[in-house]
A = this chain, B = another copy of it.
Amino acid sequence: MNGAGKPTINDVAAAAGVSKKTVSRVINKSPLLSASTREKVEGVIRDLGFVPNLQARALALRRNFIIAAIHDNPNAQFLVNVQQGIQQGIAGSEFGLMVQPFDRSDPAFESEVRAFLERQRPFGVVLLPPISSDEAIVALCRETGTRYVRMGSIKMDEAAHVVSSNDREAVRDAVTHLIGKGHRRIALIEGPEGFTSPQERRAGFEEAMAQAGLAVDPALVRPGSYTFESGVAAAECLLALAAPPTAIFASNDEMAIGAMIACRRAGVRIPEDISIVGFDDTPLSSHVWPTLTTVHWPIVDMARTAAQKLMGSEDAAGELPWMFPSTLVERGSVVAPA
């Protein structure tokens, strides 16, 4: 023990009467060690309360033990779910989770990301949508030798680098569910333009309508931006139509709840007068009244797997699933039209 401070590998080696390399072998569970030596060293490690210094290991191994989640300030619940999933994935390992937000609208966006990767040199990064579909950032990861996994709604890379959900099919199922209940005038509140997941959700909507032989009325497709306010605004437009819809599919829960509020303000009852379906299955969706029928988005599972893909070998990562099914959760906001 070097006077004060934590014991180091040298202290352990001295106390156990072996070389530090041997202690290193014990730490790393090297197979070429006699059982007796291993036990002896393990005993000393326990007695001294030795914990290997990750910084030193990082330097020697030329890799650290940091998984970084890189995001563009998404919805709080989404971000927390991703963090929770990653934490589940790294639980029991030596890895730690670093979280780093960026502003994609900042002209320095790319150089900021580069600076982060070069400075912290995380072992791997989880790219949250919509950054996950930014090829420039992916190129940056490759260039800096950073392992990465992209979270998204379609497969946009090799399986080892992707975890995604089948939003399109899930939305198709959800809208088909509405059609099955007897709805014909079904509105869509879209997500922000230029991103993958809203596009997929829209495609699912259109596929369901087409499958049922229903035309998509352009008046019933309203833009949105995944925010509560945009849900309110979209629903207000829809309710003002001469022939308002009998059901609304909102591309996320937040907009769905915005739509619910707009309906309530307008005196339109849910679900009697209008059915509403959301997407995400945030806690909020079971907190509103009536509870929101929505599509469960398996973010936690996706994030957990993303972390596992980063920690394992490239081959192992390819073996892990990259597709996670989103499934409809029926609650109280959908009934047959009057």
- Residues on A lying within 8 angstroms of B by beta carbon are 6, 51, 53-56, 58-59, 64, 66, 68, 73, 76-77, 79-81, 83-84, 87, 94, 96-101, 115, 118-121, 228-229, 257-258, 261, 264-265, 283, 287-289
Contact = CB atoms under 8 A, between A and B. Distances in A.
Contacts of A59: 53, 55-56, 59
Given A79-B80, A287-B257, A54 B97 contact: no
Mostly, the A contact residues are helix
A141 to B, nearest CB: 15
A59 B60 CA distance: 10
Contacts of A83: 99, 101
Contacts of A287: 228-229, 257-258, 261
Nearest to A287: B228
Contact of A96 (B54, B55, B100, B283): B100
A101 B121 contact: no
Contact of A98 (B51, B96, B265): B96
Contacts of A121: 53-55
Contacts of A55: 55, 58-59, 64, 121
A313 to B, nearest CB: 21
A120 B96 contact: yes
Given A51-B115, A54-B121, A76-B76, 13 more contacts: A55-B58, A55-B121, A56-B59, A66-B98, A76-B81, A83-B99, A97-B100, A99-B99, A228-B287, A258-B287, A261-B288, A261-B289, A264-B289
Nearest to A78: B76
Contacts of A53: 59, 121
A228 B289 CA distance: 12
Nearest to A57: B55
Contacts of A81: 76
A87 B58 contact: no
A319 to B, nearest CB: 28
A289 B232 CA distance: 11
A80 B121 CA distance: 23
A281 B220 CA distance: 34
Contacts of A79: 76, 80
A82 to B, nearest CB: 11
14 contacts: A54-B119, A55-B55, A55-B59, A68-B96, A76-B77, A76-B80, A76-B283, A87-B100, A96-B98, A97-B98, A97-B99, A98-B99, A228-B283, A228-B287
A322 to B, nearest CB: 25
Contacts of A115: 51
Contacts of A73: 84
Contacts of A51: 115, 118-119
Contacts of A265: 289
Contacts of A119: 51, 54, 94
Contacts of A68: 96
Contacts of A120: 54, 96
Contacts of A229: 287
Contacts of A87: 100-101
A140 to B, nearest CB: 13
